[in-house]
Amino acid sequence: MTIKLYCMGESGNAYKAALPLELSGLKWEPIYVDFFGGETRTDAFRAEVNSLGEVPVVVDGDYRIGQSGVIQAYITDKTGKFGGKDRDEELDILRWVLWDNHKLSSPAGMTRFLMNFLAEDKRPAEAIAFTQGRLKAAYKTLDSHLTGRDWIVGDGVTHADFSCCGYLFYPEPFGFVRADWSNIDRWLSNIQALPGWKHPYDLMPGSPADRA
């Protein structure tokens, strides 16, 4: 049975689910969600896809679940891949997934949206400066942790890596300059070297070019 992933290429949170699905060997297909056209805000989407009104959402037969971290756990349950080798590693992966959701992906997604997907005259400069300051602190934390490490947790790629890289491959400016962070740059190269890796705009339908 083919797993369906409701997603869009512009969503870093959807990428956190799509990338491990692609690398897991599971059979899956992306289902495009027109966020910019208002699809997630419709009654039909909330009733039929996700009552929380967001992507990603995975549908596997009769089972349906949202939230990227939960989908990642579901992938590990089905395949045994990308989890920790023991309880300590499992908890450390969860620690980084939660850190990412709060400290990295949340301000990255917001800043990228404000800087690129709003009309230029509606972009709030003070809010952007504030979130970029928070992002700089998060980059420093991640870059420091990756000193002497190939992966965030353990000796192989895990969902900690998939979660934290969610927004860092996107080309739109939001305050992240990869060359400024040598350890993050090396770690992202490790992810790109994984067999089957794809850029978010190549892995999922939907990109700014489609709306140009």
Q: Residue 156's pLDDT is what?
A: 98
Q: Give 153's DSSP letter.
A: S
3-state secondary structure of 31: strand
Q: What is the mean pLDDT of each run of 10 residues along the chain (212 residues)?
A: 96 98 98 96 96 97 97 98 98 98 97 96 97 98 98 98 98 97 98 98 95 76
Annotation: CATH topology of 87-192: Glutathione S-transferase Yfyf (Class Pi); Chain A, domain 2 (1.20.1050)
Q: Residue 1's pLDDT is what?
A: 84
For the chain, domain boundaries: 3-82+198-211, 87-192
Q: Distance of CA 80 to CAs 30, 54, 88, Å?
A: 22, 27, 16
Q: Residue 46's pLDDT is what?
A: 97
The Cα–Cα gap between 205 and 201 comes to: 7
CATH of 3-82+198-211, one of 3.40.30.10, 2.40.50.100, 3.30.950.10, 3.30.70.1340: 3.40.30.10
- pTM for this one? 0.96
Q: One-letter amino acid identity for 150?
A: D
Q: Residue 211's pLDDT is what?
A: 80
Alpha-carbon 40 to chain mean position: 18
Which residues does 8 contact at the CB level (< 8 Å), separation at least 6? Answer: 14, 32, 33, 34, 35, 55, 204, 205, 206
Which residues does 33 contact at the CB level (< 8 Å), separation at least 6? Answer: 6, 7, 8, 39, 40, 45, 49, 55, 206
